[in-house]
Amino acid sequence: MPKLKVPDAAHGPLIEVGMMTYPDCQMGMVHGITDLFDVAGRFAVDHGRRPLRVSHWHLQEGGGFARWYDSHPDEAAGNSPAVLIAPGSLHKLLEPGEVEPYARWLLNRHAQGTVLASNCGGAFALAATGLLAGRPATTHWFFAEEFRSRFPDVRMEADRMVVDDGDIVTAGGLMAWTDLGLRIVERLLGPTVMMETARFLLIDPSGREQKHYASFAPRLTHGDEAILKVQHWLQAKGVGPVAVPEMAREAGMEERTFQRRFKAATGMTPVEYVQHLRVGKARELLEFTKRTVDQIAWSVGYEDAAAFRKLFHRLIGLSPNEYRQRFSTPRSLAEVA
């Protein structure tokens, strides 16, 4: 690593990236992305550029926010971060009343020209500002339904790892801070420094997607008992052949009524729902068995393996073979019992 030393020829304040911390926020992310920016700064210096100033901010007892960590404490205290990042939490989401002072501060900083960013559940703080209304955003796939419920006017794109919408950047699951950090480095220090940072930290800089990792979590708390009965029936039935008329009979409804109510309750058509169930089972078989893709396609209800491959890639973002290469476990090297 190059020795960190700010070039003497540079003038003006360092570009600052701030982290908004709060009780129970994910400090692993805060410290990890701080190290990532430190590494990037060292490569920037190696190219004759200035490093990034990294700061951590907290809400003071008397109100207002202040730095409690500063990578360059000799820099002017009155300067404002160019980017402010709201981290997620391993324990809980910021509740509507709790988030208010943080949202007000983020809104104020944004009005002063600061780019706002978030990782994981930090997107809830950004959405609470109202700035995401009508705009795309992402968060951890596990929180996507809760996010849509709280902020229906935001275009939640939970499949995406990072949504860079100019003045607002959101990143997905817990470890998506690596993708977020690289995106910010690329914007502030350029692609060369970003690639060097990624190589040093052994991070794949290519575009990843959360749908590679997210498991299917069907919506079950919608309150429609007839539809819930069908969902439980489908789960118990497994991934064998099933048609919409059969599902409608199980629900005791006329087919068109069933399709309308099923979509309203689950957010998916019956066909889409069954596709997700089948692909979920296929992922399990790819991870834990040595069956061929054709065998797996047949076992989850698809006679046409080519159609299965196309569907799998559309839902997961990887081909079945790519998924197996990335996620298969050592146990899958053994023959299926």
Please report the domains of the chain, with CATH numbers, ordered by start residue: 16-201 (3.40.50.880), 225-327 (1.10.10.60)
Percent of the chain residues past pLDDT 70, beyond the cut: 91
- Give the DSSP letter of residue 92: -
Cα separations (Å) of 310 from 170, 212, 313, 335?
29, 15, 5, 26
pLDDT of residue 85: 98
| 63 phi-psi bin (left φ>0, alpha ψ -120 to 50, beta other) | left
Least confident of 22-36, 76-90, 121-135, 229-243: 229-243
Cβ-based neighbour number of residue 216 at 10 Å = 16
pLDDT tens string 100-148: 999 999 999 999 889 999 999 999 999 999 999 999 999 999 999 999 9
| 223 phi-psi bin (left φ>0, alpha ψ -120 to 50, beta other) | left
Say how far apart CA 225 and CA 227 lie, in whole Å: 5
User: Residue 333 — very low, low, confident or very high, per pLDDT cuts 50/70/90?
Assistant: very low
Say how far apart CA 34 and CA 39 lie, in whole Å: 9
3-state secondary structure of 66: strand
The whole-number average pLDDT for the span 267-288 is 89
Cβ-based neighbour number of residue 217 at 10 Å = 12
Given a cut of 70, whether residue 331 has pLDDT beyond it is no
The tokens describing 56, both together, are 């951590």
Say how far apart CA 6 and CA 308 lie, in whole Å: 55
pLDDT of residue 329: 57
pLDDT of residue 98: 93
For residue 83, give the nearest of 170, 15, 26 by alpha carbon: 15
CB-neighbour burial class of residue 13 (10 A; exposed 0-12, middle 13-18, buried 19+)? middle
The tokens describing 314, both together, are 């559309």
The whole-number average pLDDT for the span 148-157 is 95
Given a cut of 70, whether residue 302 has pLDDT beyond it is yes
Structural contact between residues 283 and 177, judged by C-beta atoms closer than 8 angstroms: no
The tokens describing 184, both together, are 């910010």
Q: Which helix (H) or strand (E) holds 288?
A: helix 270-288
Percent of the chain residues past pLDDT 90, beyond the cut: 62
pLDDT tens string 179-231: 999 999 988 998 888 889 998 998 877 666 667 666 677 887 788 989 989 98
The tokens describing 335, both together, are 């023959």
User: Residue 319 — very low, low, confident or very high, per pLDDT cuts 50/70/90?
Assistant: very high
The tokens describing 262, both together, are 């099923």
pLDDT tens string 72-83: 999 888 788 999
Q: Give all strands (DSSP E) within the chain, no chain letters.
A: 16-20, 53-59, 65-70, 83-86, 115-119, 136-137, 155-156, 162-164, 168-171
The tokens describing 55, both together, are 């700061």
The tokens describing 333, both together, are 């090297």
pLDDT of residue 241: 81
Chain centroid to CA 317: how far?
15
Say how far apart CA 167 and CA 177 lie, in whole Å: 17
pLDDT of residue 208: 63
User: Residue 2 — very low, low, confident or very high, per pLDDT cuts 50/70/90?
Assistant: very low
pLDDT tens string 46-64: 988 899 999 999 999 988 9
The whole-number average pLDDT for the span 268-290 is 89
Say how far apart CA 47 and CA 45 lie, in whole Å: 5
pLDDT tens string 158-172: 988 899 888 899 999
Beta strands at 155-156 and 162-164: parallel, antiparallel or unpaired: unpaired
Structural contact between residues 316 and 212, judged by C-beta atoms closer than 8 angstroms: yes
